[in-house]
Chains A and B, each alone.
Chain A
Amino acid sequence: MEEIDEIVHEFLVESHENLDQLDRDLIALEGAPGSRELLSSVFRTIHTIKGTSGFLAFGRLERLAHVGENLLVDLRDGRRSMDQPTTDVLLLMVDTVRDLLGSIERTGGEGDVDVEPAVAAITRVHDDVPAAAQAPTTPDAEPETPAADAPALETRAAQTTAAETKAVETQAVETQAVATQAPETNADETSADEVSAVETAADEAEVEPAPAAQAPARPGIIPSPRAEAVPSDEVGTQRGAADSSIRVDIELLDQLMRQVGELVLARNRISRLASSQQDVDLARSAQQLNLIASELQEGVMRTRMQPIEHVWSKMPRVVRDLAALCGREVRLEMVGGDTELDRSLLEAVKDPLTHLVRNAVDHGIEPREVRVAAGKPAQGLLELRASHAGGQVSVEVRDDGRGIDPEVVGAKAIAKGLRTPEQVAAMSANELLQLLFLPGFSTAEKVTNVSGRGVGMDVVRTRIEAIGGTVDVESVVGAGTVWRLRIPLTLAIMPSLSVECAGDLYALPQVHVVELVALDAQRSDSGVEYVHAAPVYRLRGELLPLVSLAGVLGVEVPQDEHPAVIAVVQADQQRFGLLVDRVLTTEEIVVTPLAARLKAIGVYSGATVLGDGRVALILDVQAIARRAITRDSELSTRDANAASVTRAEVEQVLVAGIGGGRRVAMPLASVARLEHVRAEQVELVGGREVVQYRGTILPLARLDRLLGTFAKESDELLLVVYTRGSRSVGLVVEEIVDIVEDEVGNHSTIDDSGLTGSTVLGDKVTELLDVRSAVLAADREFYDEPAPDDVFAGLDELVGAAR
């Protein structure tokens, strides 16, 4: 029984390959209808499926393949030519065959897949041609019950013929055993005749049902390898690859990869030992081991590599069907199909890539009339490009369609309540395009069955990120869109940084690490500042949010330990600093998958054994980012929800102390940066205080003096820098207290010069700074210059509402 199962399995594997080939051939055939070579290839594929399925007693599959074959015989013999309806029914047949195979794979039987529509469609097309007089008898004359017997014999006949065409004389004895059951077939060579011979055989089956019914029960007579050998040899000239390669079980390759992984670990250990000892011989051997292990690793990794073509091969069909459905004319070009990728990754990019392609055809490329009106060629161009770049594979889906209008995206985001108008107004075109990846976003004006159901780009992004890749989009309105995927070459082995946190070692994948910043532990203020409870670090003038690894992991840090290193990491669109105690080394690590319940924690992507034998958890930077920075996104969703009801009433404000216990709040949106300058840097220009700042002169306004209070004298000034266009001013404050949300509705109108009102923020009365007048106090011409995007739009609104 098990042998038969194995035969069925091989049949499935082979048939799936054949069907892919068939898809390609049929599409190619449409372009070159006369090609006998292609027709023969198609014919042989169907013939093989028909033969084997009959042999394995899959009656419906066999019947379907049989009518398909009849049609193909006419094509091959030039009695009809390839046209649209013919291609359509043949593709329909391919799909139905796939369904049947799927059912067989799942349940072991043909299940309830209905072949009749396909059979009827093929027969209809076939019957249109009067020349094929013999054909109609086949599908119609066979009622269900004898069909189960007859195909068995037909198959035998068919296989016998095929085998004999090859004229393998050494196998004649075996063949004979079968041939005696269907002697008529021996004499015939051409397949057209074969069909009639098969019918004769079928007739005969009525007379002699017994041997025919027996035949499938004896698989030993024709060993299945030979059945396979027939198609592959015949087609040998076309599919040369089959001769020089062998099929290897994926499981075996995975196992090899694991073992190589362990070898790499053992090598790491030996290298470490060798370097700690003075033994020259050991060092030399270790070096050699190092070399061999590296080469072996590379070699095994290569066996798992497959050209991306494997995924792309389905695209011509997808594009063709979809283009026909949407009424588009699309030319598909594929460049770099030989770019190789680990097969597990290949599997993972298949669906996202298909989705992007469908999306490009459906939404990207315009209908013919629109294109012509826009002065573009009527036929749209869809390009798939793959290439290696810096240890990653870059895959592009590029169309020359209408492009994506960032304004439309922004408007959509507002309409769907995903972002507030203020947020959208502050976004660059590129940032707006990134909104496409938000869950629940879809730009399709009408929902089609192709795309535009609100599940889409966010799924694409989730999938790609799950394998450590990234996806982004570029678009020029009217000129086209490029979706770019960046995918790592392999998942199994990756360079990583080992970091220490609260005495434990963790592996931080190097792809995410942008840079390392050492904190000076000697200085009391080590450069980490706090905005309320949130630590930040000033990295080259930009505020970098910090995330303490110990905090994320919830581990207790010994009193004397202080985070000494900031690993600046990049996850999604976010960049943040991960605070760790120490950074030890970089190492090639072998990723071991985690037990499901550890994976569910959502902070680790795997585990690994380090060179010293210790186990280290691999940090999932993206998950940490989401965990630590969720507050932000929750906030924006909450904002967005509020915005959909009324207008946004909440604004983030920066609260600063200005001396004398007074606090002022200013809208955060208009703050460009926070800066420290030493008091002696302040110079006077015509009675105004200025500092030199980034090669320009930055006028200052001291808020304490402006608002009638006095700040403590110190030798350092804290500046809140406002920028508009090319002009900047600095407002001097005593301290930064917090960033909070301010509810516009709660403002009191009690004010004074320089203020626009007051409110209660965090249980303290806080004055709302009239930023405009404060800025004007520093630079009278600040607002004279028209700025491209008015950063004060939000501010004016706040002011307006407060009044």
Chain B
Amino acid sequence: MSSYVTFTVDAGLYGVDVQRVQEALRAHARTRVPLAPEGVAGLVNLRGQVVLTVDLRPRLGLPPVDDDAQQMMVVVQVGGETVSLLVDEIGDVVDVSPERVEAPPDTLDPAIRPLIRAACTLDDRLLLVLDVDEAAAA
């Protein structure tokens, strides 16, 4: 049985291993980082700690979000560093039994492939499990 923190980005439902998630919260004001790679959304002040924020959209090949959209952050631990992932909405923590976890379909865009660890067939929809390290390395 694996537990995943789920969230939506654009229309898709994604999940990351619950062990890696530190917290989820409303997106803070970000300081942009000129010249940074595309996926870097900026730096936020998380209770005095400077945390890098990664926007998953360019990596997932999705269009940028509207300026006034209220986003959420999923704060994860990556190799001793704290990184926050910018997502649209936070969902539940779901438990998925092993038989429902499948390898991502072969037809997946090769650019996105390393990002998706598995596809879980939930009752009503598909949950794509993100590789946290890949995702945070935007």
Closest 5 CB pairs of A and B: A553-B34, A615-B31, A592-B50, A262-B48, A615-B43
In the complex, chain B residues whose CB is within 8 Å of the CB of A553: 34-35
Given contacts A608-B50, A609-B50, contact A614 B36 (CB under 8 A): no
In the complex, chain B residues whose CB is within 8 Å of the CB of A603: 34-35
Segment of A11-19, A351-359, A593-601 engaged in the interface with chain B = A593-601
CA distance A554 to B43 in the complex (A): 18
In the complex, chain A residues whose CB is within 8 Å of the CB of B29: 614
* CB pair B31 A616 closer than 8 Å: yes
B127 within 8 A of A: no
For chain B, the bracket of interface size reads: 20 to 34
In the complex, chain B residues whose CB is within 8 Å of the CB of A614: 29, 31, 45
CA distance A505 to B29 in the complex (A): 13
B49 within 8 A of A: yes
A464 within 8 A of B: no
Query: Nearest A residue to B37 by beta-carbon distance?
Result: A597
Q: Which residues of A contact B (CB under 8 A)?
A: 262, 265-266, 504-505, 553-555, 592, 595, 597-598, 601, 603-604, 607-609, 613-617
CA distance A597 to B137 in the complex (A): 9
In the complex, chain A residues whose CB is within 8 Å of the CB of B44: 615
In the complex, chain A residues whose CB is within 8 Å of the CB of B37: 597
B40 within 8 A of A: yes
* CB pair B45 A615 closer than 8 Å: yes
Given contacts A613-B45, A614-B45, contact A604 B50 (CB under 8 A): no
Given contacts A601-B33, A615-B31, A615-B45, list 12 more A-B pairs with CB under 8 A: A262-B48, A504-B31, A504-B32, A504-B34, A505-B31, A553-B35, A598-B36, A598-B52, A607-B43, A608-B50, A613-B45, A615-B42
CB distance from B101 to the nearest CB of A (A): 30
Q: Which of A504, A555, A595, A603 has the most CB of B within 10 A?
A: A595
Question: Would you give 15 A-B contacts (Cβ < 8 Å), ordered by A?
Answer: A553-B34, A592-B49, A597-B36, A597-B40, A597-B137, A603-B34, A603-B35, A607-B50, A608-B50, A614-B29, A614-B31, A614-B45, A615-B30, A615-B45, A615-B50
Q: Which residues of B contact A (CB under 8 A)?
A: 29-37, 40, 42-45, 48-50, 52, 81, 83, 137
CA distance A768 to B130 in the complex (A): 67
Given contacts A595-B81, A603-B35, A607-B50, contact A617 B45 (CB under 8 A): no
CB distance from A699 to the nearest CB of B (A): 50
In the complex, chain B residues whose CB is within 8 Å of the CB of A266: 48
CA distance A598 to B83 in the complex (A): 13
CA distance A592 to B47 in the complex (A): 13
Given contacts A592-B49, A615-B50, contact A554 B35 (CB under 8 A): yes
Query: Nearest B residue to A600 by beta-carbon distance?
Result: B37
* CB pair A554 B45 closer than 8 Å: no
CB distance from B81 to the nearest CB of A (A): 6
* CB pair A555 B34 closer than 8 Å: yes
CA distance A504 to B37 in the complex (A): 18
CB distance from B76 to the nearest CB of A (A): 13
Q: Which of B35, B49, B81, B83 has the most CB of A within 10 A?
A: B35
CB distance from B124 to the nearest CB of A (A): 37
In the complex, chain A residues whose CB is within 8 Å of the CB of B31: 504-505, 607, 614-617
